[in-house]
Amino acid sequence: MPIDKTKITRAMIAKAAKCETADELVTLAKSEGIELTKEEAESYLAELDNIELDSDSLDKVAGGGCYSENNFDPCNNFQVA
């Protein structure tokens, strides 16, 4: 049965992305009231594995510090040597 994508929220996608197995995803889907076969879950997990982040999204999740190509520290608002 196809999933009604209008009922899928960002929070649901974030939870799904944390699932490591198809069985975990099936259980999660069931808890959200969505019927999902193991084969469908495997397909969706494969899709999630192939998602590439754009540079803005990557910057938001990379963490660790601030970086700027023009020697300006955007975190502290001053010029760096």
Per-residue pLDDT of 18-38, as tens digits, reads 899 999 999 999 998 888 999
CA 34 → CA 26, 30, 59, distances in Å? 9, 5, 33
Kindly state the percentage of the chain with pLDDT values over 90.
Answer: 21
Written as one letter, the residue type at 56 is: D
